[in-house]
Structure 1
């Protein structure tokens, strides 16, 4: 078959990328790529191959050295997690002063959690946790939760690495013999962009959370009740409530949530397994990566440049299409988060009845904050392409209240004994029916579907690791 031509000329895709007639072609991706490093053809339109290889070697050495200066190289999953942590800390610091809580703030938090424990002892079957309460700065929240976030976002890193491999394969013909030289450079630059994006999202989230597990996931290796005094104060701005009441109310919520996670052994691992499983289905937009590399990658990048690249990429990284499996996982996750937060709403509401006149107003503030999404929703979107909006928290709270009213708080808390016993989405439509039946509206099937089997394997692996992840 003859080579297609246009007015007697070969197609651009069939031309030699080092052809002097093409070296200045604006449609030549190789020439554009080289230009990022100041590598341009000579006056005759030809590349000096010896000089070209020397410049590439110099750019690669310089870039590798710069990446190392950002906190070490990439890990086994292809990401520079030291750089990710550093970016998160910088974003946190950029929001204003972030001192470690003072002795008086630590004492105030521990007093609030102590009172919360006394009150909750009367309204839940779940016992206290042994770990002393803590007060954290925003930076301390990043440090204390970082390992869990790393685990949750590792599937994203794997998908990103696969997308880079596909991109390099696509460009292999253009790069020709230069691919072995350019591939490490492109991988390092891409890794830096994703590391920066994740760090920015975590830093943003740290400015919004008021407690250790404010977003309904167990983000610490061991249960701990921890409040962030500066963020607690920000939450209370504009509310006609005393600082002490705001702190106590948020301490009640976090203490109840941590008791639930500590007492229901399957709950935390299943929440995290669902998030990780969702992340495994993420599709990366390789075109967005290619555009970012071609338009902004430079052999003279600074850490600030990489942070900027991560911000630029954050809104373009993920493919907008959600798979059917991800849709199912998201439904399960939203239902489970709604049940957790609805349970916390009910427990704290009945606990504060007659003891805390401002509790109802504070609950409405929590609900408004939850409905608006804010930084927490933006961070989950940037980290995991996860738009988590548990819209049915109020329905879940009504269901738990109906069960408690009919059978006592012991029956309400006993529903967490096994994942097959917890209410389904159908039960949220018919809470009184759930109370009468005492079981989910949709009974578990005899067989285990593929998703359940995979979740079971994830939970089994988590169990073998032990409480410290070893």
Structure 2
């Protein structure tokens, strides 16, 4: 393997050939001749010449990204690079153990929910596989946020600053994609070392129908618990299998979650007047903002002036998102408890560990908070779990699961303030509906019945 950097070729070491006509060695001691096409080869355009040098070719590739507001090629490379020494490939034994756990989990869930299995294949992913396989889902989530942030920042610039930036708009867009890509790569690299299943972040990231566990992370998670590794794996498989049932058979659920994230993105605005005041102050205190001086620009960016302010619309979208995430998590908690309470001795302790893990800020929240300030947290998890548990106990699993038949039937954030009132009210509505076959508020009299 050559140790010569950047694609430079070695010089001709034969002293008798260095000055031979046509060899070019005398005027090309570092071997640039081959790179530039040799004597009389005509070379090529500067872009073509630079493309032949690995370093510049890579830079050219990064700067030519045109796939959206985030350079996902760079994100992938960055995430996988950070895992180079930390990701272990899955073994045949691990794949078999994951498949067995997910199959058993589905068998345990069958009696406690009317929703059928949502798993058609079982997968045991390494951390690198998780990064590669979930990028499409992350792109669908983050691209609208990144695009809106960049647009809001650019639109809020004063006219003078915008005029200066105009000629460089294309480069600025690509640089924005690079910066987002680098940030996301680092974030996904961290998350891949923590995430346990394909649905743990609250939004399904794996392909539809795929039940996923990450054996390396599951094993490390189990090391910190006072429970057998097989029990921990089965508990996590139950959660994954329950989540897959919900997302597979509630067709609007995934889109509702995406819509809530995108509604948050649409609300991103930047206070232009505050930026203008800040720039004027900065120009006075720093002696002006010099576009050619990276330090002055960095000082402006670090001042907080360009941070988007959370609007009422964003707060509403965030509340809806948090409620929906809590309802998903709460339903999973309830059905897993019904399936495992009598079978897994450590179910209670494991369930409490997961609730604390999610409530204190799990992998998804860390990622979104780092990237765009969006906290993806099911804050009302315990209240939602109370609703689903009480619904199942009082009205049965069929009535509980029917609430997922339409988004308007689900508890709202206000309902979660008094979860037992919602359960009682829903039960009364069901009883009334059962008594009124025509929905008019009066019971129908069967034909031939003499009762008024």
Query: Which residue is 1:402 aligned to?
Result: 390
Q: In structure 1, what is the Cα distance between the partners aligned to 2:382 and 2:139?
A: 31
Q: For residue 388 of structure 1, report the CA deviation from its aligned partner.
A: 2.6
Q: For residue 420 of structure 1, report the CA deviation from its aligned partner.
A: 0.6
Q: For residue 254 of structure 1, report the CA deviation from its aligned partner.
A: 0.8
Q: In structure 1, what is the Cα distance between the partners aligned to 2:188 and 2:292?
A: 23
Q: In structure 2, what is the Cα distance between the partners aligned to 1:151 and 1:159?
A: 13
Q: In structure 2, what is the Cα distance between the partners aligned to 1:435 and 1:172?
A: 55
Q: In structure 1, what is the Cα distance between the partners aligned to 2:98 and 2:269?
A: 42
Instruction: Provide Cα deviations, 1:134-171, integer angstroms capped at 9, x if missing partner.
Output: 10011111111111211211223322442346659533
2:59 to 67, 79, 87: 67
Q: In structure 1, what is the Cα distance between the partners aligned to 2:148 and 2:397?
A: 44
User: Matched residue of 1:377: which SS?
Assistant: helix
User: Matched residue of 1:226: which SS?
Assistant: strand
Query: Which residue is 1:273 aligned to?
Result: 259
Q: In structure 2, what is the Cα distance between the partners aligned to 1:173 and 1:143?
A: 40
1:159 to 145, 148, 151: 148
User: Matched residue of 2:195: which SS?
Assistant: coil
Query: Which residue is 2:402 aligned to?
Result: 414
More off after superposition, 79-88 vs 329-338: 79-88
Query: Which residue is 2:355 aligned to?
Result: 367
Change (3 A) 1:359 1:318: farther
Contact 1:124 1:409 in 2 (8 A): yes
Runs (5+) with no aligned partner, structure 2: 1-45, 279-288, 430-452
Q: In structure 1, what is the Cα distance between the partners aligned to 2:372 and 2:313?
A: 15
Query: Which residue is 2:160 aligned to?
Result: 170
Change (3 A) 1:368 1:143: same
Q: For residue 317 of structure 1, report the CA deviation from its aligned partner.
A: 9.7
Query: Which residue is 1:87 aligned to?
Result: 78
Q: In structure 2, what is the Cα distance between the partners aligned to 1:257 and 1:144?
A: 18
Contact 1:427 1:440 in 2 (8 A): no
1:258 to 229, 241, 244: 244
Query: Which residue is 1:341 aligned to?
Result: 329
TM-score between the two structures when normalised by the length of structure 1: 0.69
Contact 1:152 1:279 in 2 (8 A): no
Larger Cα Rg: Structure 1 or Structure 2? Answer: 2
Query: Which residue is 2:307 aligned to?
Result: 319
Change (3 A) 1:439 1:209: farther
Contact 1:223 1:261 in 2 (8 A): no
User: Matched residue of 1:330: which SS?
Assistant: helix
Instruction: Provide Cα deviations, 1:233-277, integer angstroms capped at 9, x if missing partner.
Output: 122122110110010000000110110110111111111111122
More off after superposition, 200-209 vs 98-107: 200-209
Contact 2:149 2:308 in 1 (8 A): no
Instruction: Provide Cα deviations, 1:88-131, integer angstroms capped at 9, x if missing partner.
Output: 222333xx431221110000000000110110011111101242
Q: In structure 2, what is the Cα distance between the partners aligned to 1:172 and 1:254?
A: 49
Q: In structure 1, what is the Cα distance between the partners aligned to 2:290 and 2:110?
A: 57
Change (3 A) 1:414 1:294: farther
More off after superposition, 183-192 vs 120-129: 183-192
Q: In structure 2, what is the Cα distance between the partners aligned to 1:128 and 1:395?
A: 26
Q: For residue 82 of structure 1, report the CA deviation from its aligned partner.
A: 1.0
User: Matched residue of 1:112: which SS?
Assistant: helix
2:129 to 119, 140, 144: 140
1:432 to 420, 423, 434: 420
Aligned residue-pair number: 363
Q: For residue 279 of structure 1, report the CA deviation from its aligned partner.
A: 2.0
Q: In structure 1, what is the Cα distance between the partners aligned to 2:69 and 2:89?
A: 32
Q: In structure 2, what is the Cα distance between the partners aligned to 1:416 and 1:387?
A: 24
Instruction: Provide Cα deviations, 1:30-68, integer angstroms capped at 9, x if missing partner.
Output: xxxxxxxxxxxxxxxxxxxxxxxxxxx99xx89985533
Q: In structure 2, what is the Cα distance between the partners aligned to 1:339 and 1:277?
A: 19
Change (3 A) 1:411 1:172: closer
Query: Which residue is 2:364 aligned to?
Result: 376
1:197 aligns with 2:183: yes
Query: Which residue is 1:465 aligned to?
Result: none
Q: Which has the higher contact order (CA 8 A, sep 6+)?
A: 1
Q: In structure 2, what is the Cα distance between the partners aligned to 1:325 and 1:229?
A: 40
TM-score between the two structures when normalised by the length of structure 2: 0.72
User: Matched residue of 1:383: which SS?
Assistant: helix
Q: For residue 315 of structure 1, report the CA deviation from its aligned partner.
A: 11
Q: In structure 1, what is the Cα distance between the partners aligned to 2:105 and 2:257?
A: 25
Runs (5+) with no aligned partner, structure 1: 1-56, 298-308, 442-470
Query: Which residue is 2:7 aligned to?
Result: none
Q: In structure 1, what is the Cα distance between the partners aligned to 2:116 and 2:311?
A: 40
1:212 aligns with 2:201: no
CA RMSD after TM alignment: 3.4
Query: Which residue is 2:104 aligned to?
Result: 115
